[in-house]
Structure 1
Amino acid sequence: MTETAGASRNKKFPALIIVLITLLLAGFVLWRLDHAPRTDDAYIYADTVNVVPEVDGRIVELPVRDNDAVRQGDLLLRIDPRRYQDALNQALGRLDVLDKQIALTQRTVNAQQYNAASVSAGVERARAAANQATDTLRRTEPLLSQGYTSAEEVDRARTAQRAAQAELDAAMLQAQQAAAAVSGVDALVAQRAEVEAQIAIAKLNLEFTEVRAPFDGRVVSLRTTVGQFASALKPVFTLIDTRHWYVVANFRETELKNIHAGSPATVYLMSDTSRRFAGTVDSVGYGVLPDDGGVVLEGLPRVQRSINWVHVSQRFPVKIAVRNPDPALFRVGTSAVASLDQGGTRETVR
């Protein structure tokens, strides 16, 4: 009987060991999930821009092909510049004509001003003569009653005074006419400013006929060639910004409490699972569109009455900036796996 009890204990001991190991493994997994959340619901992301010409015209040069890598400042496409060069030449010609017209008109204005000054000097001479004739008449008239002068002398003085005053009035009218005849070049100067603005626009449009890469990137979605007419503000292809690569990882809402910007992360791509890339959390998403419920209708939220017995946690995107990515591996949309080290030192993301 004693042997039977010992054998029973010997059989229970391995089972206890297995249960204990299982519990330890389960505890480690839970601890690991809490301190190093991981998700395979992730993909590679990079910023993109649509390459659009800012002027209309036919494409005469397209030195890039689909999926080509380009450097900042490289020529992406060239629009036929002849129409815009002609517009610039026309505006420059108008400016030259206006400059000559302004110079010619200015000489005419100068002559008018000299004439007005000469007439003004004549007014001063007529005024001096009129003043002198008035003074002579004023001195002569009292002498007539005293017998020192004759009536004829007084009449001549009066006639001279009236004539001098008439000449003064005539000179003043001539001065007003001469002043009114003086023109200016203000209107032509205003036209010149308008033509200068047209020249600036023409130069800008001519510059816009060349579309160059704003940053290092890769050409995608190119579906055209030389000879195609390009419309302003309509995309020709897309340019991926290959300077900065990110992994957008969707984590469960229950895992977000300890995820912060600057948290260290490790990612790898499904296209090559043997390589690991370090990164840091750039930002955590603050909004997603719910699949059901919470829809605002006429100002009020509509919540479905049905209750799911199994509640699936919502996932929120976490944007991870990758350090030293491999340009040969990273492609927008590539599946990835991301894990966060919440026990690591937080870094400042710049």
Structure 2
Amino acid sequence: MNTQSLIRTALTVIVVLAAALIGHALWKHYMYSPWTRDGRVRAEIVRVAPDVSGLVAEVDVHDNQLVKAGDVLFRIDPRRFELALAQADADLGAAQAAARAAGASISAASAGTAASQADYEKYEAQSERRQKAAAVISAEDRADAVATARAAQAAVAQSRANRNAATASQAQALAAVEQAQAAVDLAQLNLERATVRATAPGYITNLDVRIGDYASAGSARMALVRSDSLWVYGYFEETKLPLIRAGDVADVRLMSGGHALKGTVEGIARGITDADNPTSSGDLLADVSPTFNWIRLAQRVPVRVRIDPASIPKDMVLAAGMTASVTVHPAQRD
């Protein structure tokens, strides 16, 4: 074999070895490096529903509008709630008047008890004096004195009973005042809740309310996508999870292109739905379909990545459900 043949053979071997090494590195990167094209932008969704029922009198927002926390979204006709508040205020006034009357009854009963006690003490003393003067006072007079004293004693007991009854009536009246005050507070709360406000900053979407609609309490009429809660779920194959830890830096690139976003791994899901287990469909775990990869199907596990707000350009549109590629950069570990 001449020199040229040896050179060609050596070059061929080198090229084949380089291709094999590159292919192995690419295969290892594809199979085990912590990256995925299966990422989804997620956000906290507030289902906006009125807390009271009634006719919609005013709608203050439009679809896809950016709102701040506390902004008015829509108003329910407040007249029924204003009348209920007026009625509750009147009932409270009546209950307070009844409580004052019950207090006056206690004062009167206490005065009557004191007078009865004084009469009893007087007649009891008279009876004792007449019993001691039996020689000069007839038996009939002595008996009358004893009866009078006993009657005065009974009057004292009756006065005390009346005072106790007045005290119980006052306690009942005060309880009625508290109940009426609670009714006033509830009516005031219902009136306030007739104005539906945004509970967080975000974008209004799926607006489904018009003036004249009847809005039922608890029935969602629009969704609010919180603008301060965007994150990405990267669905990583289980073979790539050993390299991922909470706190690792991640790059997020949307399928729509544009600037790559920075993020931080917040956590890894600790469970997904088992498709082979018929009892696991209602356990609220993420249902992630595995993708075909070579022969064996690796399960995909959600990894939550928080997006750094400073890395989001002002003109970038981020919508929940957008597709993204996520690459995690594992930190150096001991």
TM range (shorter): 0.7 to 0.9
TM-score by length of 2: 0.85
Tell me how far apart the structure 2 counterparts of residues 210 and 120 of structure 1 sit (CA, whole Å).
Answer: 61
2:98 to 97, 101, 126: 101
RMSD across aligned C-alpha pairs, in angstroms?
2.4
Q: Does 1:310 align with 2:298?
A: no
2:119 to 122, 127, 130: 122
Tell me how far apart the structure 1 counterparts of residues 23 and 97 of structure 2 sit (CA, whole Å).
Answer: 93
Describe the superposition over 1:260-288 as per-residue Cα deviations: whole angstroms up to 9, x where unpaired. Answer: 1112111110112x411111111112222
Match of 2:183 in 1: 198
The Cα of 1:296 is off from its aligned counterpart by: 4.9
Match of 1:224 in 2: 209
Match of 1:174 in 2: 155
Match of 1:111 in 2: 108
1:277 to 244, 261, 264: 261
Percent identical across equivalent pairs? 27
Which moved further from structure 2: 213-222 or 110-119? 110-119
The Cα of 1:55 is off from its aligned counterpart by: 0.8
CA contact (8 A) 2:249 2:264 kept: yes
Tell me how far apart the structure 2 counterparts of residues 109 and 339 of structure 1 sit (CA, whole Å).
Answer: 80
- The runs of 5 or more residues in structure 2 that have no matched partner are 281-293
CA contact (8 A) 2:238 2:301 kept: yes
Q: How many residues align?
A: 313
The Cα of 1:48 is off from its aligned counterpart by: 1.0
Tell me how far apart the structure 1 counterparts of residues 329 and 30 of structure 2 sit (CA, whole Å).
Answer: 10
Match of 1:322 in 2: 307
TM-score by length of 1: 0.82
The Cα of 1:30 is off from its aligned counterpart by: 4.4
Match of 1:162 in 2: 143
Q: Secondary structure at the match of 1:266?
A: strand
Instruction: Indicate how the Cα distance of structure 1 residues 176 and 244 shifts in structure 2: closer, same or farther if over 3 A, else same.
Output: closer
Instruction: Indicate how the Cα distance of structure 1 residues 281 and 103 shifts in structure 2: closer, same or farther if over 3 A, else same.
Output: same
The Cα of 1:96 is off from its aligned counterpart by: 1.0
Q: Secondary structure at the match of 2:208?
A: coil
The Cα of 1:112 is off from its aligned counterpart by: 3.1
2:76 to 76, 79, 89: 79
Match of 2:290 in 1: none
The Cα of 1:213 is off from its aligned counterpart by: 1.6
Q: Secondary structure at the match of 1:289?
A: coil
Tell me how far apart the structure 2 counterparts of residues 311 and 281 of structure 1 sit (CA, whole Å).
Answer: 27
2:48 to 29, 46, 51: 51
CA contact (8 A) 2:99 2:173 kept: yes
2:171 to 186, 195, 201: 186
The Cα of 1:135 is off from its aligned counterpart by: 1.0
After TM superposition, list the pairs within 5 Å mapping 1:18-37 onto structure 2.
Answer: 18-30=15-27, 32-33=29-30, 36-37=33-34
Residue 175 of structure 1 aligns with an amino acid whose one-letter code is V
The Cα of 1:203 is off from its aligned counterpart by: 1.8
The Cα of 1:127 is off from its aligned counterpart by: 0.7
CA contact (8 A) 1:35 1:341 kept: no
The Cα of 1:236 is off from its aligned counterpart by: 0.8
Instruction: Indicate how the Cα distance of structure 1 residues 176 and 285 shifts in structure 2: closer, same or farther if over 3 A, else same.
Output: closer
Tell me how far apart the structure 2 counterparts of residues 100 and 64 of structure 1 sit (CA, whole Å).
Answer: 46
